[in-house]
Amino acid sequence: MPAEHDQIAFVTGGTGFVGSHLVEYLLENRFQEVRCLVRTDPKFLKGFPVTTVRGNLSDRAALAEGIKGADTVFHVAALTRAKTWEEFLEANVEGTRHLLETVRSVNPGIKMIVITSSLAAVGRSEMDIATEATPLRPISQYGKSKAMMEEIVRSFMSDLPIVIVRPPAVYGPRESDIFTFFQSLSRGFCPIVGSGEKDSLSLVHASDLVRGMAQAGRSEKSAGETYFLGGAAQYNWNEIRDASATALGRRVLTIPIPPFLVGAIGAVSELVGKLTNTYPPLNREKAAEIRYACLMCDHSKATADFGYAPDKDLWSGIDETIQWYRKENWL
């Protein structure tokens, strides 16, 4: 594979949270050209020296424009929240199919395609910590769409060099979902399911994740493989609360929520979302994932195959994230 400064990358989802961090990493590592699929608003890409390709995952002409001559495709675009299953299906499953069909048609000699999936594809598991061998039994529609997407992706692996990466929960500057947790703490309250004492969550900082994605994209071992890309450790909610409170510089009141109440709270939140035409931070599916899904992963396979070594510790990572929220007036 040519040196990174001789390479061309095509990124879908580059305007979003993880995608923009990936674009930033690729530019810092002197990729010759970074092309980004952009529907309308460049959002977090503003100011970055990227080549903009206008279109979406259903626009095969736009996909072809971005893919022709590219060395690596990073597919990050996805819907994490939607009002219907059909929206998840169109964006996460059919959109990925369109992308791979276009690669096969216009650039069959591409060096690598990195597909971003999610730990949510695993869902229910008897294991506390998922490995790549853990069966997929997703709970949420999002997780089901990612599992279905992976099945589609594997059907292309005999024709194309593809690697699937599965991050767990991702945090860092520009993140807007976990942000609601930090927002609650900034107001002095910290809801925690159960005692919060047991390690129960893999959390990866965006900077660690995108470095791992780039490593997977240039590894000679990764084609045809699936990898978890987790954080430096497994965490419990009390650790996350304490690191966040310290970064915020304030005391917070912990509000313990009995696990059996999470489903009811999710149902009420979902109803409010329907009445207000908004996406609630918690719904019945998210509540079920909190109670029953495997939320931790083991990234030792990625470490063994291409040296993945996340090094952002929780306290500095959360501090950096909260300072960004404050700078951008999110908090």
- Find out whether 312 and 208 touch, Cβ atoms under 8 Å: yes
Q: Domains of the chain (ranges plus CATH)?
A: 4-175+203-232+296-313 (3.40.50.720)
Rounded-to-integer distance, Cα 58 and Cα 96, Å? 9
Q: Identify the pLDDT of residue 3.
A: 55
pLDDT 10s digits, 231-249: 999 999 999 999 999 999 9
The C-alpha atoms of residue 111 and residue 72 are separated, in whole angstroms, by 6
Query: Which positions of the chain have pLDDT values less than 50?
Result: 1
| Whole-number Å distance between alpha carbons of 251 and 188 | 7
* pLDDT value, residue 284: 85
Could you give the C-alpha distances from 110 to 1, 86, 100, 106, 158, in angstroms and in order?
11, 31, 11, 9, 13
pLDDT for res 263? 80
Tell me the per-residue pLDDT of 125-140, one tens digit each, with 9 for 90 and over: 988 999 999 999 999 9
Across 103-214, where does the E strand assignment appear?
112-116, 129-130, 162-166, 169-171, 189-193, 201-205
Q: What are the two backbone dihedrals, phi and then psi, of residue 39, each rounded to the nearest 5 degrees?
A: -75, -60
Per residue in 153-172, pLDDT (tens digit) is: 999 999 999 999 999 999 99
Q: Which DSSP helix (H) or strand (E) runs through 254?
A: strand 253-257
Quote the CA–CA distance of 128 and 183 in Å, as a whole number.
28
Entry pTM: 0.94
165/213 Cα distance (integer angstroms): 7
Helix (H) or strand (E) segment spanning residue 106: helix 95-106
